[in-house]
């Protein structure tokens, strides 16, 4: 390969990343569901003819992207190469051959150039409703969790399967929204295809074989070099989560073995009776992500840069749930996988990975309906509103944790205005939660307070999808734990961290989402940083004195400066 061709291939590689980013942004602009449009719970990527991912969009979540990296090979096998035609679009929400649960729709579109098959585009989006019990942990099997769509053709040579669309419409609560999301996914892939063809014509390419080889070989080599530079050691990590009715333990042994890193989850808890089980494809996605961001964050994500990370787990454990286990909230377990991996990796390469954070997203879904305890107003209506929210991320060795920021999922917290626009729901309170970040040389990120109710004339069920109620984020290297999750009705009635729960007309639900843990000894934190936290309201005067030993005089000075409006 000449120097000129290497430069040209590098330009093409950058172009492909731009192509899939435009693909993802097209989905954000056209999606009907707020989970996609506002939170960015999606993924987009381009693949070679063998189903190997060549590039992924920056917009999206590791769970979707890294799981979707394996999905196209399943589509090729199920559809059959002989049945792949120009104008086709394929669909599934298979949890084990897609991205982990029925609420994710994955669409795959073959890309043709001058009559020849040159690759695939794929995209995934989380949709608000897929029928069944609704989004939540209450099901006892995947059959209860909603409509299952096997890998099949949504469009055959440009002709949409109208029978399939009628079946989908007849089985979900928000048919227009779901069908709209499906067409947004189709359009997303079409945008990617058009931009790819523009690139191929510009560079006079008949196929993608050359650029695919360049991307995969360079990514593989760069990743292996990073692994080879690490200590060739093995360490174990362990953590406990709330679970549904009883705690769950994640155990992992991380082994650095020359040109690969093996993460073995033997010893983790068995299946749960409720829908928090995690298929291996999703646990693998987040285990790979944890290691990749630790050692090779700047190497673009593709099949080759993910390949050196091997993930194993015994069948029918909480991180390798097999059909027909309920898996609707597989993200709860999956989002804790990086913390478990980091707990092991920190023993091999210290002072690199963060303390534990909130982990899983602090999501809840509100199922609204006209009140049943008295006559409802004529304008009362049924509606499903899903909102994505975040606790604090764990403190890093050199930086504080991020406030109300989703790690590892990376999805965005949804604006109040978008949530209230989606249905007759009212968000009465949404603000940062002082003192929730664990103390340390670097402080854990803050969680947040939320209070939710319904418009006049409505009652609702709330599907709680929380963790860290009984097992808050643990500090690292002397840092303190983050604050736990709390949830209760406004009359003081206790509520569970998971499951569907009824909220009567006029009642509200008050939630406090968890904080990230601290890193390092709090006594080593800069006095100026403590004063800054106190001035901004991130910590109280009591915490400044107790956890950071800030003097009474310094506390009084900060409070006086804040009262005067001085900048600190």
Q: Note whether 506 and 473 are within 8 A (CB).
A: no
Residues of the chain with pLDDT under 70: 1-4
Is residue 284 situated within a structural domain? no
- For residue 251, the number of C-alpha atoms closer than 13 Å in the C-beta half-sphere is 8
Residue that finishes a domain, picked among 219, 248, 273: 219
Alpha-carbon distance of 58 to 21, in angstroms, equals: 6
Q: What's the structural domain count of the chain?
A: 2
Is residue 53 situated within a structural domain? yes
The reported pLDDT for the residue numbered 320 is 98
* Of 360, 357, 358, 361, the residue nearest 394 (C-alpha): 357
Ordered alpha helix ranges (H), 203-249: 209-228
At CA 43, angle to CA 38 and CA 44, rounded to 5?
A: 120
Question: Alpha carbon of 242 to those of 204, 290, 365: distances in Å?
Answer: 56, 21, 19
Chain mean position to CA 484: 20
- For residue 54, the number of C-alpha atoms closer than 13 Å in the C-beta half-sphere is 30
Q: 181 Cβ partners below 8 Å, 6+ apart?
A: 31, 32, 33, 36, 105, 125, 127
Q: Tell me which residue has tokens 């209506």.
A: 381
Q: Tell me which residue has tokens 């009776």.
A: 273
Q: Give the relative orientation of helices 552-564 and 527-536 as an angle to the nearest 10 degrees.
A: 40
Q: Tell me which residue has tokens 């073959």.
A: 110
Is residue 286 situated within a structural domain? no
Per-residue DSSP letters for 179-204? HHHHHHHHHHHHHHHHHHHHHHHHTT
Is residue 366 situated within a structural domain? yes
Q: 491 Cβ partners below 8 Å, 6+ apart?
A: 507
Q: What is the largest CA-CA distance in the chain?
A: 78
The reported pLDDT for the residue numbered 58 is 87
DSSP letter (8 states) at residue 519: B
The reported pLDDT for the residue numbered 2 is 40
Do 213 and 360 lie in a common domain?
no
The reported pLDDT for the residue numbered 554 is 96
Is residue 47 situated within a structural domain? yes
Alpha-carbon distance of 243 to 283, in angstroms, equals: 16
Is residue 510 situated within a structural domain? yes
Alpha-carbon distance of 95 to 80, in angstroms, equals: 20
CA dihedral 43, 45, 49, 51 (to 10 degrees): -40
The residue segments making up the domain with residue 160 are 3-219
Alpha-carbon distance of 261 to 291, in angstroms, equals: 8
Per-residue DSSP letters for 357-397? ---S--EEEEEEEE-SSSPPPTT---EEEEE----PPPPPS
Is residue 380 situated within a structural domain? yes
The reported pLDDT for the residue numbered 363 is 95
Q: Is 216 helix (H, G, I), strand (E, B) or coil?
A: helix
The reported pLDDT for the residue numbered 568 is 78
The distance in angstroms from the start CA to the end CA of the chain is 57
What are the phi and psi torsion angles at 551 (to 5°)? -70, 155
Residue that finishes a domain, picked among 197, 219, 241: 219
Q: Which helix (H) or strand (E) holds 67?
A: helix 62-79
Alpha-carbon distance of 541 to 349, in angstroms, equals: 36
Alpha-carbon distance of 252 to 288, in angstroms, equals: 13
Is residue 287 situated within a structural domain? no
């Amino acid at each position: 390969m000449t120097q000129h061709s290497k430069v040209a291939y590098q330009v093409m590689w950058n172009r492909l990343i731009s192509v899939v980013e435009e693909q993802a942004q097209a989905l954000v602009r056209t999606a009907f569901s707020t989970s996609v449009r506002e939170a960015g719970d999606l993924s987009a990527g381009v693949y070679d003819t063998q189903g190997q991912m060549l590039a992924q969009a920056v917009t999206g979540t590791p769970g979707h992207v890294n799981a979707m990296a394996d999905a196209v090979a399943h589509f090729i096998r199920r559809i059959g190469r002989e049945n792949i035609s120009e104008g086709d679009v394929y669909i599934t929400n298979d949890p084990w051959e897609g991205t982990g649960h029925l609420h994710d729709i994955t669409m795959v579109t073959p890309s043709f150039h001058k009559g020849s098959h040159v690759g695939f585009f794929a995209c995934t989006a989380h949709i608000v409703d897929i029928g069944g019990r609704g989004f939540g942990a209450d099901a006892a099997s995947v059959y209860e969790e909603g409509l299952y769509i096997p890998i099949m053709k949504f469009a055959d040579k440009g002709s949409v399967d109208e029978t399939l669309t009628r079946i989908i419409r007849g089985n979900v609560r928000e048919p227009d929204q779901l069908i709209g999301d499906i067409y947004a996914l189709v359009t997303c892939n079409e945008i990617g295809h058009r931009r790819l063809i523009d690139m191929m014509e510009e560079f006079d390419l008949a196929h993608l074989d050359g650029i695919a080889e360049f991307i995969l070989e360079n990514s593989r080599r760069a990743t292996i070099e990073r692994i080879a530079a690490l200590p060739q050691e093995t360490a174990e990590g362990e953590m406990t989560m709330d679970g549904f009715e009883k705690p769950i333990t994640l155990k992992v042994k991380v082994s650095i073995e020359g040109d690969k890193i093996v993460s073995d989850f033997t010893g983790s808890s068995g299946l749960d009776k409720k829908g928090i089980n995690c298929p291996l494809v999703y646990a693998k996605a987040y285990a790979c992500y944890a290691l990749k961001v630790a050692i090779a964050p700047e190497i673009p994500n593709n099949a080759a840069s993910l390949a050196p990370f091997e993930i194993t787990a015994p069948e029918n454990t909480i991180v390798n749930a097999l059909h027909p286990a309920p898996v609707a909230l597989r993200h709860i377990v999956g989002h804790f996988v990086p913390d478990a991996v980091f707990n092991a990796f920190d023993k091999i390469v210290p002072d690199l990975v963060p303390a534990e954070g909130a982990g899983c997203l602090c999501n809840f879904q509100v199922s609204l309906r006209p009140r049943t305890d008295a006559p409802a107003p004529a304008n009362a209506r049924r509606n499903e509103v899903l909102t994505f929210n975040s606790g604090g991320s764990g403190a890093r060795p050199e930086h504080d944790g991020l406030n109300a920021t989703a790690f590892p999922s990376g999805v965005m917290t949804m604006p109040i205005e978008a949530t209230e626009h989606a249905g007759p729901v009212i968000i009465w309170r949404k603000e940062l939660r002082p003192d929730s970040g664990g103390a340390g040389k670097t402080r854990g990120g803050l969680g947040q307070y939320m209070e939710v109710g319904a418009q006049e004339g409505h009652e609702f069920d709330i599907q709680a999808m929380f963790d860290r109620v009984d097992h808050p984020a643990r500090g690292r290297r002397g840092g303190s734990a983050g604050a736990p999750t709390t949830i209760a009705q406004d009359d003081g009635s206790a509520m569970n961290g998971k499951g569907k729960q009824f909220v009567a007309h006029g009642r509200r639900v008050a939630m406090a989402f968890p904080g990230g843990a601290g890193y390092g000894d709090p006594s080593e934190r800069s006095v100026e940083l403590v004063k800054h936290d106190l001035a901004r309201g991130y910590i109280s005067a009591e915490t400044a004195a107790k956890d950071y030993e800030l003097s009474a005089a310094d506390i009084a000075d900060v409070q006086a400066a804040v009262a005067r409006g001085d900048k600190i």
